[in-house]
Amino acid sequence: MESGHSEPEPSSDQLHSHKSPDADQDEIKDGNSHRNEWEQIVSGPSVQNSETAHLCSTCGKRFFWKSKLTRHMQIHTGEKPHSCSTCGKTFNQKSHLKVHMEFHANEKRYSCSTCGKRFYIKSNLRSHMRIHTVEKPYSCTICGKRFRWTSDLSRHIRIHTGEKPHCCCTCGKRFTTTGEKPHCCGTCGKRFTTKGQLKIHMRIHTGEKPHCCGTCGKRFTTKGQLKIHMRIHTGEKPHCCGTCGKRFTTKGQLKIHMRIHTGEKPHCCSTCGKRFIQRGQLKTHISWIDIMASAFQMEREYFRE
């Protein structure tokens, strides 16, 4: 039976405010999702000291974000997904491709006033000028040693900190540098860490000596060799013995001299066991043994006759 009164129709606001249990669950899920995303953003930097940090399985280096690890892995895999549409050269980072594209868009506008070498980018010219000015703007805060580039300073700092970020995936032993030598000489098979080292090495096979002494005209394979040679003309002896004050042209000469004070004799005769400070002394000693052995043999043959 119908009652004398009926339930009032719900208003449109009430209909909109009313939700089914499923709708409530969806709202809770959405709320949790947004809260989780926010927590990840807020707690992101704390990942550095967490067990869940993104770890490179090859060298052991850790990263805050997975995207950084993915990009880092391209160093080990050699993957270069970004390709130049003009020349086809590939890069592992988009930013490197962007810089490269400027090479096609512009000519080498920046010229070195000392040697004439030209550059696409002004910052590259500034870095190049340090070769001529011997400028070393980056200084070690611990020992004061100075460097031309930040990468050299970063490697040097590991001497003081003992940091060994590169890990062998087979035995777990850790190293300061990777020791990887991906550049191989096609003539003798010797391997090098950088392309520049390989380029200099190739001059052994080609006989190229691009660096010339302006005083005597003698030519050299590397700029370092020319720099040391110039000390013959200038009389410069930059390396000083801290014990007796004697000065030397090269670091190698100073190293050998220091053995006088330390008593170190690293070169040993395999025949008699006598030890020497210099390899040249050992070589002379061995030659003398050979001469004496030959003389003794001739003497025996003479008396035998």
The span from the CA of 64 to the CA of 47, in Å, is 6
Q: How far apart, in Å, are the Cα atoms of 48 and each of 44, 54, 75, 250? A: 8, 9, 21, 45
Give the Cβ contact number of residue 192 at 10 Å.
Answer: 17
CB of 112 within 8 A of CB of 125?
yes
Q: What is the residue type of 155?
A: R
The span from the CA of 229 to the CA of 249, in Å, is 9
**Digit-coded pLDDT (tens) for 69-89:** 887 887 787 778 888 877 778
DSSP class per residue in 158-205: HHHH----EE-TTT--EESS-----EE-TTT--EESSHHHHHHHHHHH
Q: How far apart, in Å, are the Cα atoms of 211 and each of 69, 125, 196? A: 42, 21, 16
- Dmax over CA atoms of the chain, in Å, equals 153
Q: What is the residue type of 114?
A: T
Q: What pLDDT shows up at residue 38?
A: 35
**Digit-coded pLDDT (tens) for 89-134:** 888 788 888 877 776 666 677 888 877 787 777 888 887 777 777 6
Q: What is the residue type of 129?
A: M
pTM over 0.75: no
Q: How far is CA 59 from the centre of its chain?
A: 14
**Digit-coded pLDDT (tens) for 167-190:** 777 787 887 776 667 788 888 888
Picking from 15-24, 74-83, 116-125, 192-201, which range would have the lowest pLDDT averaged per residue? Answer: 15-24
CB of 59 within 8 A of CB of 166?
yes
